[in-house]
């Protein structure tokens, strides 16, 4: 593959820092090794090495959106700074094709003593935009930032939200080929964040995006691919959904390990998240669904959604983790009368059931689930904690448990969906996953009247009426 097909190429990238215990050690390092070499003594170092990155290599193709995930201190910001040229590597090479613009940590890129207006021109010139062209784009930048009269105030007086507004407005108007975004969108109000996300989605159609965030949903939503960094190296590089889910599972295991609990993570080669699987053969108890939403503007027979359900297959579980005090045996979608469903209508009353066995004695187990779309975005879910938080129940080893969640299935767009199922112990905010199965159940929407959004609400009734009085006109 030719180099012209890549926006970013990183080869053997490493960054080493020298950590000094006290200021005088820095002076010693500057002078004493030279003297030691002169008198032919062994050379001593007066610092400790810290490798923020070590031997990192990857490519980013033109037009690709890549997410970078990892805990604090894993090397994400160091990597981005070297890609953007604000930090030099200790070893390795970086090549970037075209103009690159970056929104890194707060405080980088602006002169705090300059006004917002002056920083617009300064930043634009640094990106290679002529002053005349900046004058043409200035009003569009100001309108995008929407910070009012503060544009003529020193940047040092800005709030973090105002800073991000101006910084993002600038990079959105400089015709960059590659954008690098580092956690900055976590600051600011929801309206501006949505404006930024709309811009990023339009930018994806023409440019390359490198996106760093602790928001797993944002990475899954925006990125086709993700890279997981830890300890300065790449743990895994692959489809965004797979990488993020593996990262979250490992982080839960690490968090509980710090409290003395062991949570195992297992990932097999196969995945049940595909549409392959055995369709449930159980018949429905009635020829008609328990609820049928009215069909508006359609010539079909009143069906707003037709959903095919695939059977839970414990042998095909591909991604699971947990401390192991409980084991999920079965996950199913059932009718209100208790029969397994082969198909569902949007708006139908269904039971999602999770059956589990206590592998060891457990207290007050919490059952929960998420329904996700094909990208892994969590559409909706719930758990049993709030209902049972005041009921202290203990179950001996070998106990069989079943949790039931009854709800009306929303209207879903055509596509494949999966259910994550879990059983945990603890509280809503501080819990240990005993067994979590990703993509435990698969279902597919094959017909839908829904055209926009992630989920649709089954409407009981839609009506239009005239509120103003009808005036009779006499000739």
Q: What is the pLDDT of residue 178?
A: 94
> How crowded is residue 292: how many other Cβ atoms within 10 Å of its Cβ?
16
Residue 195 pLDDT > 50, yes or no?
yes
Residue 185 pLDDT > 90, yes or no?
no
Q: What is the pLDDT of residue 164?
A: 87
Residue 314 domain-assigned (yes or no): yes
Residues 99/127, Cβ–Cβ less than 8 Å: yes
pLDDT digits (tens, 9 = 90+) for 374-431: 878 889 999 999 998 888 889 999 999 999 999 988 888 888 888 999 999 999 889 9
**With bands split at pLDDT 50, 70 and 90, how would you rate the model's confidence at 369?**
very high
115-118-121 Cα angle (round to 5): 150
Q: What is the pLDDT of residue 287?
A: 36
Q: How many domains does the chain have?
A: 2
Residues 231/247, Cβ–Cβ less than 8 Å: no
Structural domain range at position 19: 3-240
167 and 295: one domain? Answer: no
Residue 319 domain-assigned (yes or no): yes
Residues 82/89, Cβ–Cβ less than 8 Å: yes
193 and 83: one domain? Answer: yes
Task: Report how far residue 161's alpha carbon sits from residue 212's, in angstroms, rounded to the nearest whole number.
Answer: 18
The more confident residue out of 304 and 80 is 80
254-271 mean pLDDT:
73
Residue 237 pLDDT > 90, yes or no?
yes
355 and 221: one domain? Answer: no
Q: For residue 332, what is the DSSP state? A: E
Residue 252 domain-assigned (yes or no): no
**With bands split at pLDDT 50, 70 and 90, how would you rate the model's confidence at 435?**
very high
Q: What is the pLDDT of residue 273?
A: 39
pLDDT digits (tens, 9 = 90+) for 306-362: 877 877 777 666 688 999 999 999 999 988 788 888 888 788 888 999 999 999 999
Q: Look at 79-88, 203-212, 449-458 and tell me which has the smallest mean pLDDT.
A: 449-458
Residue 256 domain-assigned (yes or no): no
What's the chain's average pLDDT? 83
pTM comes to: 0.75
197 and 273: one domain? Answer: no
Q: Using DSSP, state whether 64 is helix, strand or coil.
A: coil
| Domain at 87, CATH number | 3.40.50.300
185 and 311: one domain? Answer: no
Residue 251 domain-assigned (yes or no): no
Residue 328 domain-assigned (yes or no): yes
């Amino acid at each position: 593959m030719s180099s012209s097909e890549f926006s970013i190429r990183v080869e053997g990238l490493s960054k080493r820092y020298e950590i000094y215990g006290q200021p005088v050690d820095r002076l010693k390092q500057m002078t004493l090794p030279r003297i030691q070499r002169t008198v032919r003594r062994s050379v001593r170092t007066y610092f400790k090495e810290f490798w923020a990155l070590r031997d990192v290599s990857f490519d980013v193709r033109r037009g690709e959106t890549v997410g970078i995930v990892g805990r604090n201190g894993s090397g994400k910001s160091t990597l981005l700074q070297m890609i953007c040229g604000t930090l030099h590597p200790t070893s390795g090479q970086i090549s970037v094709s075209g103009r690159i613009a970056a929104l890194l940590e707060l405080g980088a890129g602006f002169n705090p003593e300059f006004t917002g207006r002056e920083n617009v021109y300064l930043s634009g010139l640094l990106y290679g935009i002529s002053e005349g062209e900046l004058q043409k784009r200035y009003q569009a930048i100001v309108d995008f930032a929407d910070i009012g009269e503060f544009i003529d105030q020193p940047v040092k007086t800005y709030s973090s939200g105002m800073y991000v507004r101006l910084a993002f407005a600038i990079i959105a108007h400089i015709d960059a080929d590659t954008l690098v975004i580092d956690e900055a969108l976590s600051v600011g109000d929801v309206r501006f964040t949505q404006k930024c996300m709309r811009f990023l989605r339009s930018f994806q159609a023409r440019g390359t995006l490198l996106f760093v965030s602790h928001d797993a949903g944002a990475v899954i939503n925006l990125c086709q691919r993700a890279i997981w960094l830890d300890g300065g190296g790449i743990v895994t590089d692959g489809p965004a959904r797979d990488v993020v889910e593996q990262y979250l599972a490992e982080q839960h295991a690490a968090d509980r390990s710090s409290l003395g609990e062991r949570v195992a993570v297992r990932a097999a080669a196969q995945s049940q998240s595909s549409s392959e699987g055995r369709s449930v053969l159980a018949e429905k108890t009635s020829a008609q669904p328990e609820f049928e939403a009215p069909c508006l503007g359609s010539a079909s027979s009143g069906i707003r959604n037709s959903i095919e359900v695939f059977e839970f297959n414990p042998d095909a579980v591909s991604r699971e983790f947990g401390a192991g005090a409980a084991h999920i045996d079965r996950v199913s979608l059932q009718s209100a009368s208790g029969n397994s469903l082969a198909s569902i209508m949007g708006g139908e009353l269904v039971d999602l059931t999770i059956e589990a066995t206590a592998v060891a004695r457990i207290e007050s187990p919490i059952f929960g689930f998420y329904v996700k779309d094909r990208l892994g975005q969590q559409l909706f879910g719930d758990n049993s904690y709030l209902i049972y938080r005041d009921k202290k129940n203990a179950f001996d080893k070998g106990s069989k448990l079943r949790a039931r969640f009854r709800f009306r299935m929303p209207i879903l767009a055509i596509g494949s969906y999966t259910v994550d199922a879990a059983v945990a112990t603890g509280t809503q905010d501080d819990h240990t996953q005993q067994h979590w199965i990703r993509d435990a159940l698969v279902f597919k929407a094959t017909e839908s009247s829904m055209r926009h959004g992630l989920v649709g609400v089954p409407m009981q009734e839609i009506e239009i009426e005239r509120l103003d009085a009808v005036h009779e006109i006499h000739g």
